[in-house]
Chain A
Amino acid sequence: MSAWLQQEAGSTSSAEAKKSEPRGQEKKCSWASYMTNSPTLIVMIGLPARGKTYMSKKLTRYLNWIGVPTKVFNLGVYRREAVKAYKSYDFFRHDNEEAMKIRKQCALVALQDVKTYFNEEGGQIAVFDATNTTRERRDLILHFVQENAFKVFFVESVCDDPEVIAANILEVKVSSPDYPERHRERVMDDFLKRIECYKVTYQQLDPDEYEKDLSFIKVMNVGRRFLVNRVQDYIQSKIVYYLMNIHVHSHSIYLCRHGESEHNVQGRIGGDAELSSRGRQFASALRGFIKEHIKLSDLKVWTSQLRRTIQTAEELGVPYEQWKILNEIDAGVCEEMTYEMIQNTFPEEFALRDQDKYHYRYPGGESYMDLVQRLEPVIMELERQGNVLVVCHQAVMRCLLAYFLDKSADDLPYLKCPLHTVMKLTPVAYGCKVEMFYLNVEAVNTHRDRPLSRVVGSHLTPCVKESTLTAQMKLMTVSASE
């Protein structure tokens, strides 16, 4: 073992070679981030109310979830900084010289921030969210990326369906900081005039002539049609695939864990146990809950390939799909142990895990980071689908929840996903509404909070399941963040 480690230390490495690190220093970069070399600037294009910010935020959330550091730079935010009080659409008239100067200045400041993000903050993708409707503005951006050796990929949203545009304005513009008084008709009126200001100078991407050498995707009528030009690399192909799979139709995603299992009751992790009697009760309660909330014929049900989720779904009495990739995190040598057993048998591993729960990989098993990679097709398919109920496991549910609620890798392994509770996620505006439903069937608590002390090799008793904590120790863990 040591000879091999020595060999590792002595070899040359390039930016792309990832050596297997000694225990406790597993690589922190995700599998997806390997696939990008130079930073990429994604440039949104489109008239106002075409879903640019919606796509920017969603794309950014997805890329961060798969481990590619991404950030949105919204020009509207910069403009609001520069011009404290928005008066009216007149600001956006193309003959308003004063305003044009301010707007150009804002763009330059934003691009500088992009440069800082890439060069100094470890960013890999920046999404430049603005209208960018003129060739002049886009040439400015192209000049910037060429100077700095960044890649550039354009995402243009073209929409001529007046209903879609109106709905868009109502959903996100009415509550914008530009319109504090929120009087709907006034907002709608002003905003439509704002759009007209842009239309005058809008130069769409032309795949046949002017822009034929640029890399871009043109999204038409909210995903009805796509034109994809010159995809350069893996990350751009992933972005294209993602954008082609998302939609704006209203739908709800229900996430829950299997019913309480025999292993849960014994405090054991992993394994393939059956439901306890309370677990079976939950399965029946779940059926009642679903019937109340949604037409069963409209719902897809997904489970893992472990008995406890399958048994839970069986109660629903509807067809369900089993996904191996929804199986619980593989705890390797720690499978089926209780936390006490792990502490006794592998105290160092136990401590390492608490140090960095997201990256820590069980020997012979997986890490949360591995789980995210494994779950990516599920996320993609959830985006495509309508109403879905996913019956899964604690670690898996944390990963899925982190995607929908944009939680960081730091927070992900500590998200609270109690047994016998259903979370209903409904996309709304730029985010996700969450409703939690506890189905009134008792279960053990399997949540282990973030420990307060992270010293390796210390023999401080790690936090055990809440149900066995004394009142005093409860006080210690209550303050740990979720």
Chain B
Amino acid sequence: MRGASRSKNTQILDKRVCMTNCPTLIVTVGLPARGKTYISKKLTRYLNWIDVPTKEFNVGQYRRECVKIYKSFEFFRPDNEEGLKIRKQCALAALNDVRQFLTDEGGQVAVFDATNTTRERRETIMRFAEQNGFKVFFVESVCEDPDVIAENIVQVKLGSPDYTHCNTEEAVADFMKRIKCYENSYQPLDEELDRDLSFIKIIDVGRRYLVNRVQDHIQSRIVYYLMNIHITPRSIYLCRHGESDLNVKGRIGGDSGLSARGKQFADALGQFIQSQNISDLKVWTSQMKRTIQTAEAVGVPYEQWKALNEIDAGVCEELMYEEIQLKFPLEFALRDQDKYRYRYPKGESYEDLVQRLEPVIMELERQENVLVICHQAVMRCLLAYFLDKTAEELPYLKCPLHTVLKLTPVAYGCKVESVCLKVEAVNTHRDRPKNVDVSRQAEEALLTVPDHQ
């Protein structure tokens, strides 16, 4: 569980709670263009966001390191001995790096992203895992829908370093032949033969799942996550509430209503949403007045989530930064030292926020088009998830008022379009000041505080 206490008040040692006792090796299985890398990257991003140190190891990368120039599908022919030798070496090199990551670098989950289509290869991996005390969980993707496969190839293969010198037709033709090379020796995970292994078989991009022998909490979370993601094209719109009365005064937290400019923004937002012609849009707000008032102006039904409420600033609620510096200079400095983990006395930390927001993320994954009207810290956490930002970057992501971010999943990541709705607002972004030492002067602490009334 995330959230090992780092409170200065208790004498308890910093116990980072481990989700698993031993590290886990996730092994993807499947023919080319079945979404293995998509799943690997998404899963890695999710696990890191919930604070489980995870890394993916893509054997294709290792192969590209080794064989500088890709010529054609011939490399993958099952009778190409030279090719087979190189590919096996690359797999072993990758496994070596896995061992280093899980044993020496504090990693908890490693995702071994390769076809792993033969039982022999999978047995090699399992022996390796056993030797090193890792648990193994297989994620197999099985898909025969030619449209899905074609779309996959267009989205991610054409842009691959392997095909920079080809035109589209050549690339597609070569790739299809590459897939053929694997087909004959493909041994899918079998309910009977593999009944003692832990795995999830994803069939036809999530239409059906077969789940076998889930061993522990992290595997059950992984299964739950994989069962909630989809690849249907859609967009997620993130924005903050309109400028609030407390924003104008430079105060944090609280539950104030919109300022006049905030109301203008709400109207502009309504118009913007209309103009986008989004089918079946869901609108979510927090349970605080300022987001609700903003949503009201959009004029469509909305759902309120308590989990979307702004970070609780505890004893600092409704204070200005200047007042925090005056009343709690030590706290103020500590926060600047480690903004992600710092917890306001009687309040929350960004780390707490992430845990609180996890069900929202899960539901966002399930949904299609959604507009989330939330708050600065909350929006930073959500953005960090979609754009794979680290805990260090997260608390300093720029989320200005009156700007809508449109996120569209594309290839292995997320396209971001920033739309500023041209209604003026105060700036609420406070950069990290140079001096974060507890002995600093007030001016140094307040150097980066944005202007306000």
Interface segment out of the listed A107-115, A128-136, A189-197, A221-229? A221-229
Residues from chain B with Cβ under 8 Å of A13 in the complex? 301
Residues from chain A with Cβ under 8 Å of B10 in the complex? 307, 310
Interface segment out of the listed B170-178, B205-213, B381-389? B205-213
Tell me the minimal C-beta distance from B315 to chain A in angstroms.
11
A34 touching B1 by the CB < 8 A rule? no
Interface size (B, Cβ < 8 Å)?
Answer: 43
B209 touching A324 by the CB < 8 A rule? no
Residues from chain A with Cβ under 8 Å of B207 in the complex? 229-230
Contact with B along A303-337 (1 / 0, CB 8 A): 00101001000100001011111000000000100
Q: In the docked arrangement, what's the CA distance between A13 and B283, Å?
A: 13
Tell me the minimal C-beta distance from B414 to chain A in angstroms.
23
Task: Give B302's nearest chain A residue, CB to CB.
Answer: A17
Contact with A along B349-370 (1 / 0, CB 8 A): 0001001000000010010000
B305 touching A237 by the CB < 8 A rule? no
Tell me the minimal C-beta distance from A397 to chain B in angstroms.
19
Interface residues of B in 279-306 (CB under 8 A from A): 287, 289, 292-293, 296, 301-306
- The answer to whether A171 has its CB under 8 Å from any CB of chain B is no
A323 touching B3 by the CB < 8 A rule? yes
Q: In the docked arrangement, what's the CA distance between A307 and B9, Å?
A: 8
Q: In the docked arrangement, what's the CA distance between A17 and B300, Å?
A: 8
- The answer to whether B224 has its CB under 8 Å from any CB of chain A is yes
Q: Are A14 and B211 CB-contacts (below 8 A) given A20-B287, A225-B195, A373-B306? A: no
Residues from chain B with Cβ under 8 Å of A384 in the complex? 217, 220
- The answer to whether A16 has its CB under 8 Å from any CB of chain B is yes
A16 touching B213 by the CB < 8 A rule? no
- The answer to whether A244 has its CB under 8 Å from any CB of chain B is yes
**Majority secondary structure, A binding face:** mixed
Interface residues of B in 151-204 (CB under 8 A from A): 191, 195
Residues from chain A with Cβ under 8 Å of B292 in the complex? 19-20
B211 touching A244 by the CB < 8 A rule? yes
Contact with B along A244-271 (1 / 0, CB 8 A): 1100000000000000000000000000
Q: Are A7 and B355 CB-contacts (below 8 A) given A244-B214, A322-B15? A: no
Q: In the docked arrangement, what's the CA distance between A384 and B220, Å?
A: 9
Residues from chain A with Cβ under 8 Å of B287 in the complex? 20
Tell me the minimal C-beta distance from B122 to chain A in angstroms.
18
- Which range contains the number of A residues in contact with the other chain? 35 or more
B211 touching A226 by the CB < 8 A rule? yes
Interface centre among A35, A224, A370 (most CB of B within 10 A): A224
Residues from chain B with Cβ under 8 Å of A31 in the complex? 305-306
- The answer to whether A297 has its CB under 8 Å from any CB of chain B is no
B355 touching A324 by the CB < 8 A rule? yes
Residues from chain A with Cβ under 8 Å of B306 in the complex? 31, 370, 373
- The answer to whether A437 has its CB under 8 Å from any CB of chain B is no
Q: In the docked arrangement, what's the CA distance between A332 and B32, Å?
A: 55
Residues from chain A with Cβ under 8 Å of B302 in the complex? 17
Residues from chain B with Cβ under 8 Å of A210 in the complex? none
- The answer to whether B5 has its CB under 8 Å from any CB of chain A is yes
B257 touching A4 by the CB < 8 A rule? yes
- 29 residue pairs from A and B, CB less than 8 Å apart: A4-B257, A11-B296, A15-B301, A19-B292, A20-B289, A20-B292, A31-B305, A31-B306, A224-B212, A225-B195, A225-B212, A226-B211, A227-B208, A228-B211, A228-B227, A229-B208, A241-B227, A244-B220, A245-B220, A305-B7, A310-B5, A310-B10, A314-B12, A321-B1, A322-B12, A335-B346, A370-B306, A381-B217, A384-B220
A227-B210, A234-B366 known; 14 other A-B pairs, CB under 8 Å? A20-B304, A31-B305, A31-B306, A226-B209, A226-B211, A231-B227, A237-B224, A240-B227, A241-B224, A244-B211, A244-B223, A307-B9, A322-B4, A324-B355
The 7 closest A-B pairs by CB, nearest first: A17-B301, A14-B301, A228-B209, A226-B211, A225-B212, A324-B3, A229-B208
Chain A residues close to B by CB (< 8 Å): 4, 7, 11, 13-20, 31, 34-35, 207, 224-231, 234, 237, 240-241, 244-245, 272, 305, 307, 310, 314, 319, 321-325, 335, 370, 373, 381, 384
